[in-house]
Amino acid sequence: MNSIITESVTPALECKGLTKRFDSLEAVKEVNLRIEKGERRAIIGPNGAGKTTLFSLISGLYPVTSGSIRIFDRDITHLPSYRRTYLGLGRTFQITNLFPTLTVLDNLVIAAMGLQRMKFSMLKPLSGYRQINERASEVLESVGMAEKRMRVVKNLSYGDQRQIEIALALVNNPRVLLLDEPTAGLSQEATAAVTGMIGRLDPQITVLIIEHNMDVALQVAKLITVMHQGALFAEGPPTEIRNNRHVQEIYFGTED
């Protein structure tokens, strides 16, 4: 299971004994995870396996019960969420989490302000900050949504919203990117669009992706981690995972 131990290069992300308990439920159990710089890793597992909880621990939305999290050898276990963003962590959400009443451009502008001091400026109109607006437009263009910039997000198709979901996380040039089921509920066409977008990401970015769609997971990642009932269950290259009988049982059901 732990066959892929690489040399002692600093990993981009490392979890040790990570545990999260909600009252009597152990949502995440003793997870040890090591993701190398630039690696693309997929996490799969049935519903309720603790995948999203794991993401929320890494991104700091939930406090950790025990264990530790490190990004590039910096301990972030107890840092508040926003500080982790300053250190280069970005994430998206399984349940689309945008600013629905604002335009696409404004969504990206908010993201672009995240790490700037001017976010506290209270008198000068936002439109006067050219750099911020340029950065937002630039990212919009790179994800191919420039022509929809003035549309209000809640009126966009679900597929478009999923792409903005990723775009928001990209604005601040993350070094480690957590994608939570980016293609959940998308049509084949839209899935291909999102998968393509992930494929075109800067290879320097370390990507951890939760994915239910095996085809997407296989396309994006070279290593797959399987979670089951809060714990890591298996880890390996896609073919190995696919042929692992235990994984088939918990994940694909018992049929062939």
Partner 1 sequence: MISKQLILQNWLWVILGAAVLLLVVLPPVLPIFIVILLTQGLIFGLVAMSLDILIGYTKLAALGHAAYFAIGAYTAAILATRHAAGFGFCLFSGIGLRLMTAAIIGLFVIRLSGVYFLMCTLSIAMCFWGLAFKWTQMTGGENGISRIPRPNIGFSVDLYNNLTFHYFVLIFFVLCAVLIVLLVRSPFGRTLVGIRDGESRMRVLGYNVWLHKYLAYIIGSTFAGVAGVLWAFFNRYVGYTDVSLYRCMEVFLMVSIGGQGTLIGPNIGAFLIVFMRNLVSAYTNRWLLVIAIVYILTARFAPMGFIGYLKRFQKVRGGI
- Binding residues (CB under 8 A) for partner 1: these are 59-61, 80-82, 84-86, 89-91, 93, 97-103, 106, 109-111, 113-115, 118-127, 129, 132, 150, 152, 168-169, 172
Nearest to 47 by CA among 181, 245, 201: 181
Residue number, 43 or 223, with CB nearest to partner 1 = 43
Quick one: 109 or 186, whose CB is closer to partner 1? 109
Residue closer to partner 1 (CB basis): 29 or 175: 175
Smallest distance from partner 1 to CB 86, Å: 6
State the nearest-atom distance from the C-beta of 252 to partner 1, in Å. Answer: 32
Q: Mind giving me the DSSP string for 82-112? A: HHHHHTTEEE--SS--S-TTSBHHHHHHHHH
Shortest Cβ distance from residue 105 to partner 1 (Å)?
9
Residue closer to partner 1 by CB (options 174, 236) is 174
H or E element at residue 71? strand 66-71
Q: How far is the CB of 176 from partner 1 (least distance, A)?
A: 12
Amino acid at the residue 114: G
What minimum distance in Å lies between the beta carbon of 246 and partner 1?
Answer: 34
- Comparing CB distances to partner 1, the nearer of 68 and 94 is 94
Contact status, residue 96 vs residue 153, Cβ threshold 8 Å:
no
Task: Bin 219: left if φ > 0, else alpha if -120 < ψ < 50, else beta.
Answer: alpha
Contact 32, 47 (CB under 8 A): no
